[in-house]
């Protein structure tokens, strides 16, 4: 007997919740363990991404499990579902763009060395930028939170048995009361605030690929003297930013295309699970890649800072400049 759409969707949600919870919890722990004193910009971005991923899985996917189990959502549940799903998707894209821009700037300074006298000011600006993204995300989706509602005429008996892949969203409609507002805000604006940052992320990552190829050609007086720990972290951050972009972009585009042609795919029993996997796949898999950004360096340059203080070098020893 073939499994039903509800069973497949519940299974997909449960697997994604488990993987995301384990991955993001480990990401929180490993990153927090390396922080000493003032948080670095990369750590703030990682914390923000992990928090967004946990919200997406622990709220959106849990509500999908509840709905697929036969428990219908009320108006408040509809508002929370729509608002959280849209907000976490956009914030994940925005924070990834910020993450890529951060390592792009660092990588650019390595390939084309510039003065770093304003580093502290830039770190303050990054903190303000991260806070601004949270505020902007909530502000952008307030109309979705306000105007989402549950239609009163729906028949409860038809909701649980329908094979429609989008029935949970059809039962929770967003009615703006004006066709122009629904078109320009609900379709054009809400699509562009994801598409434009995603396009920017792709361009930044392609630029980083070029800088990484240029980095291989860089020499210091025709002598290669190796890389310090901070430079290794920057190179790893740039490379993993590219990998994360290659993961995020196909998932978002595939989900967008499936939703756009949803009516033609409504009869497929696997579509609800596929849509769930596409919408939450990045939040489940990306933490394991983000943990690798500082995997090697944290033992030396970040987490090893306290160990270096406890074992000072003797004053009579002269270290080689190439040590």
| Distance separating alpha carbons of residues 283 and 44, to the nearest angstrom | 17
What's the pLDDT score for residue 322? Answer: 31
| Distance separating alpha carbons of residues 97 and 157, to the nearest angstrom | 44
Q: 220: which strand partners?
A: 223
Q: Which two tokens stand for residue 281?
A: 């796949």
What's the pLDDT score for residue 128? Answer: 85
| Distance separating alpha carbons of residues 49 and 70, to the nearest angstrom | 32
| Distance separating alpha carbons of residues 61 and 56, to the nearest angstrom | 7
pLDDT band per the 50, 70, 90 thresholds, residue 23: very high
Instruction: Choose between 75 and 153: higher pLDDT.
Output: 75
Per-residue model confidence as pLDDT tens digits over 142-159: 998 888 877 665 544 444
Mean pLDDT of 219-245: 74
Percent of the chain with pLDDT over 90: 39
Q: Which two tokens stand for residue 209?
A: 């690929």
pTM of the entire structure?
0.82
Q: For strand 148-149 and strand 173-174, is the pairing parallel, antiparallel, or unpaired?
A: antiparallel
Cβ-Cβ contacts under 8 Å for 29 (sequence gap 6 or more): none
Nearest to 252 by CA among 218, 221, 219, 277: 277
What's the pLDDT score for residue 306? Answer: 42
Instruction: Choose between 216 and 208: higher pLDDT.
Output: 208
What's the pLDDT score for residue 323? Answer: 30
Per-residue model confidence as pLDDT tens digits over 155-181: 444 444 443 345 666 677 777 777 888
> Do 100 and 255 meet the contact criterion of CB atoms below 8 Å apart?
no
Mean pLDDT of 283-298: 78
Q: Which two tokens stand for residue 266?
A: 């409504």
| Distance separating alpha carbons of residues 26 and 119, to the nearest angstrom | 29
Q: How many CB atoms lie within 10 A of CB 226?
A: 9
Mean pLDDT of 97-121: 78
Residue 35 has pLDDT above 70, yes or no: no
CA 269 vs. chain centroid, Å, equals: 28
* Highest-pLDDT range among 68-72, 109-113, 132-136, 213-217: 132-136
Write down all domains in the chain, each with its CATH number in brackets.
Answer: 5-155+162-303 (1.20.1070.10)
Mean pLDDT of 98-117: 82
> Do 35 and 16 meet the contact criterion of CB atoms below 8 Å apart?
no
Q: Which two tokens stand for residue 268?
A: 């497929």
pLDDT band per the 50, 70, 90 thresholds, residue 301: very low
| Distance separating alpha carbons of residues 233 and 288, to the nearest angstrom | 16
Lowest mean pLDDT among 156-160, 214-218, 275-279: 156-160
Instruction: Choose between 17 and 30: higher pLDDT.
Output: 17
What's the pLDDT score for residue 43? Answer: 82
Element housing 60 (H / E): none
| Distance separating alpha carbons of residues 236 and 42, to the nearest angstrom | 12
- Residue 316 is given by DSSP the state T
Instruction: Choose between 269 and 188: higher pLDDT.
Output: 188
Residue 107 has pLDDT above 80, yes or no: yes
């Amino acid at each position: 007997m073939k499994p039903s759409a509800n069973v497949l969707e519940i299974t997909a949600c449960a697997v994604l919740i488990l993987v995301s919870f384990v991955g993001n919890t480990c990401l929180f722990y490993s990153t927090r363990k390396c922080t000493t004193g003032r948080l670095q910009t990369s750590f703030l971005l990682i914390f923000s991404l992990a928090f967004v991923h946990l919200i997406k899985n622990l709220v959106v996917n849990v509500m999908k499990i509840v709905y697929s189990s036969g428990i219908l959502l009320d108006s408040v549940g509809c508002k929370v579902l729509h608002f959280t799903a849209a907000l976490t998707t956009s914030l994940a894209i925005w924070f990834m763009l910020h993450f890529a821009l951060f390592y792009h700037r660092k990588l650019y300074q390595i390939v084309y060395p510039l003065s770093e006298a304003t580093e502290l000011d830039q770190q303050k600006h990054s903190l303000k930028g991260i806070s601004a993204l949270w505020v902007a995300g909530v502000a952008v989706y307030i109309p979705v939170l306000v105007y989402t509602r549950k239609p009163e005429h729906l028949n409860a008996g038809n909701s649980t048995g329908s094979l429609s892949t989008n029935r949970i969203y059809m039962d929770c409609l967003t009615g703006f009361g004006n066709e122009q507002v629904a078109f320009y805000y609900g379709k054009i604006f809400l699509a562009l605030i994801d598409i434009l940052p995603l396009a920017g992320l792709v361009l930044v990552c392609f630029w980083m690929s070029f800088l990484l190829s240029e980095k291989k050609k860089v020499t210091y007086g025709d002598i290669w003297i190796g890389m310090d720990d901070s430079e290794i972290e920057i190179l790893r951050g740039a490379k993993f930013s590219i990998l994360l972009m290659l993961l995020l972009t196909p998932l978002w585009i595939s989900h967008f295309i499936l939703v756009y042609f949803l009516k033609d795919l409504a009869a497929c029993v696997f579509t609800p699970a596929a849509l769930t996997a596409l919408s939450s796949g990045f939040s489940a898999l990306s933490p394991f890649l983000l943990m690798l950004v500082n995997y090697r360096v944290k033992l030396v340059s970040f987490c090893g800072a306290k160990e270096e203080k406890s074992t000072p070098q003797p004053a009579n020893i002269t270290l080689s400049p190439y040590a």
